[in-house]
Structure 1
C-alpha cells in the first residue's frame, strides 16, 4: 500500500510553505483494500478454526477492519486522524450489522415465499382445503387485514392527530403533562395487554362476540401513541415564523394550523402514520384473542370471526407440515409487499399535498 506524503520545501525567507502544513494521508482507496483484506483473513480464520457460522467469519473480519484501520492511520496520519477513522469504521460496521440481517430476512422470505405466491394463492381461501393439503390461499386473510387495519386507522389517526395538535399548539399546564405522560405509557404497552383490555370490556362485559371490529379496537390502541408522538415531533419542526406571519395577517389560529402548519409537516406526519400501520399490520396476539380466525371468507368486520395475515401465518406454521410452511412464507411475503405498497402510496400522497415552493 502506497502512502501519500508531501516533503517540506520551505520558502527563501525561511518561512514554512503551505505544503509544509499538509500531513501524511492514507490514499482514498485504502479503506476498500483494508475491507477486502480483512474479509479474506476473516474467512481464512473461519476455515482454519472450522467455524460453521458465516456470521462468526463476518465478525472476525469486522474486528480486523476496525483494528487495522486504526493502526495504519495512527502510524501514518497521527492520533487525531486515527480516532476519526476509528469512529468512521465503527459506524460502517454497525451499519452493516443492521443491514445484513435485514437483507438476509428479505432474501429468505422472497426465496421461500415465491414458491407458492401467485394469482391463485391471492384469490382463494382455505375454506375447502385441509392444513396438510396443497392449495388454498390468503384471500380471506387479506380481506381481514385490510378491513382491520383500515378500521384501526379510522380510529387512531384522527385522535392521534388532534391530540398532537393540542399538545403542540394549545397544551399548557397539568392537563398537557398528564396527556404526555399517558402517551408515553401507552407507547410501551405490550400488544397482549391491549388485546386483554378489549377482550374483557367488549366481549366479556358487553357480551359481543369475536369480530374484526374488536381486533381493530385493540390495534388502534397500539397505533395511537405512535401517531401522537411522530406527529408531535413533526409539528414542532415547523418554524414559528410561519405561524407568526399567518397570525399577523389576521388569520385565525385554527385556520393557520389547518392551512399552514399541517401542510408543512404533512410528509413527516404521513411517515409516522405509516410506521404505526407497519407496527399493527403484523400483530398476532390481539387478533388471536379477539378475531379468532376462520378458513372461510368473512367480509363483514362487525360480525363473527375473521381471518388476518399474521394469524394465518401463525396457524399455517403451527400445522407442522411442508405445505403449511410454504403457505406461511408466501403469506409473510404478501404482508411485506402490502406494507411496501402502503408506504409508496402514502409518500406519493404526501409529496402531492406538500406545499410547493417557487424559485
Structure 2
C-alpha cells in the first residue's frame, strides 16, 4: 500500500514538473515571438524615418507633384487620399453598422449565417480582386474615377465594420435589451438608443481600423481611380492618392521621386499609427468609464 502511494506521489510530482517545464517553454516562446515582432516593427519604422523624414517639409506638403527632374511635393496625393477615403467612410460606415445590426438582431438564423459567411470570405479576399470587381462594375461603364476608388475601398472595409458591429452588439448584456422592452420601447429604439451606445467602443474601434486599412491600399486604386499628376476635385475623374504615388515613384530612376515615395510612405504610416493609438486610448477610457 505504501509503495502504491509512493508511486502515485512520484507520478504526481513528475506531472507537476512536466507542466512547469511546458509552462516555462511556452512563456519563453511567447516572449520571443513578441520580441521578434517588435524588432521587425521598430526596424520598419526606423527605415521609414531615416529615408522619409528628410523629405518631409513645408514645400512637400504645399506643392503638387511635378515631372521628373523638377521639384515637386505631395499636396494633390494627400488631398486625393483624404477625399477618396472620406467618400468611402460616408458609404461604408452607415452600411456596415446597419449590416452588423441585422446580423446581431436577425431572427432568421439561416440568412444571417449565409451573410456572415460571405462577410468572412470578403475579409480574406485579396484587395486586387475587389479592384477588379469594381473595375467591371463601374470603370467599364463610367471610366476611371475617384468615386470608383472610394467604392472599392468601401467594399474592403464593409465586412470589417459589419462583423465588428455584430460582435460588439452581441457583447451587450441581454438584461439591457430586456430593460428597454420592459419600459415599452419598440425594438428599433432599444437598438438605436440603448444597444448602440453601449457597444460604441467596439464599433468605433472597428471603424478606425478600417480607415487605417483603406488609407494604405494600392491595388484597388490601380484599377479604379488610376491616379492623376494634376490637381482634380472632380470625383468622376481620375484622382491622385498617396499609395498610388508610392507605387509610381518607388520604382523610378529619379532620386527626387524615390525620396518623395519614402516621405509618402512615412505619412501613411504615421496616419495609421495615430488612428491605432486613438482607437486604443478610446477603448481604454471607455472601459474605465464602464
- TM bin, normalised by shorter chain, reads 0.7 to 0.9
1:346 Cα deviation after fit: 5.8
Task: Indicate if the aligned counterparts of 1:264 and 1:355 stay in contact, CA closer than 8 A.
Answer: no
Matching of residues 174-193 of structure 1 within 5 Å: 174-193=110-129
Whether 1:287 aligns to 2:221 is: yes
Task: Indicate if the aligned counterparts of 1:263 and 1:354 stay in contact, CA closer than 8 A.
Answer: no
Aligned counterpart for 1:157 among listed residues 84, 88, 93 = 93
- What CA deviation, in whole Å up to 9, does each residue of 1:164-221 have, x standing for no partner? 10111124233222212221221222212111121112122x3x12111010011111
Q: Matches of 1:249 and 1:258 in 2, distance apart?
A: 15
Whether 1:103 aligns to 2:37 is: no
Aligned counterpart for 1:264 among listed residues 177, 182, 198 = 198
Task: Indicate if the aligned counterparts of 2:168 and 2:203 stay in contact, CA closer than 8 A.
Answer: yes
Q: Matches of 1:149 and 1:183 in 2, distance apart?
A: 21
Aligned length: 276
Structure 2, unpaired ranges of 5+: 1-13
Aligned counterpart for 1:325 among listed residues 224, 247, 258 = 258
| TM-score normalised over the length of structure 1 | 0.71
Whether 1:83 aligns to 2:19 is: no
- What CA deviation, in whole Å up to 9, does each residue of 1:1-31 have, x standing for no partner? xxxxxxxxxxxxxxxxxxxxxxxxxxxxxxx
Q: After the TM superposition, which segments of 4 or more aligned residues of structure 1 sit over 3 Å from their partners?
A: 77-80, 340-357
1:347 Cα deviation after fit: 6.4
Matching of residues 1-359 of structure 1 within 5 Å: 78-126=17-65, 129-133=66-70, 135-204=71-140, 206=141, 208-302=142-236, 304-343=237-276
1:353 Cα deviation after fit: 8.6
- What CA deviation, in whole Å up to 9, does each residue of 1:212-252 have, x standing for no partner? 10100111111111111111111111111111122112222
Q: Matches of 1:331 and 1:171 in 2, distance apart?
A: 47
Q: Matches of 2:231 and 2:287 in 1, distance apart?
A: 39
Task: Indicate if the aligned counterparts of 1:199 and 1:289 stay in contact, CA closer than 8 A.
Answer: yes
1:354 Cα deviation after fit: 8.8
More helix by share: 2
> Which has the bigger relative contact order, CA under 8 A and spacing at least 6?
2
Task: Indicate if the aligned counterparts of 2:139 and 2:145 stay in contact, CA closer than 8 A.
Answer: no
Task: Indicate if the aligned counterparts of 1:132 and 1:319 stay in contact, CA closer than 8 A.
Answer: no
- What CA deviation, in whole Å up to 9, does each residue of 1:97-141 have, x standing for no partner? 211101110111111110101111111111xx32244x3111100
Q: Secondary structure at the match of 2:54?
A: coil
- What CA deviation, in whole Å up to 9, does each residue of 1:312-349 have, x standing for no partner? 01111121232222111100111122223444556677
1:288 Cα deviation after fit: 1.3
Task: Indicate if the aligned counterparts of 2:84 and 2:150 stay in contact, CA closer than 8 A.
Answer: yes
In our comparison, the structure showing a higher alpha carbon Rg is 1
Task: Indicate if the aligned counterparts of 1:148 and 1:213 stay in contact, CA closer than 8 A.
Answer: yes
Q: Matches of 1:337 and 1:100 in 2, distance apart?
A: 18
Q: Secondary structure at the match of 1:197?
A: helix
| TM-score normalised over the length of structure 2 | 0.87
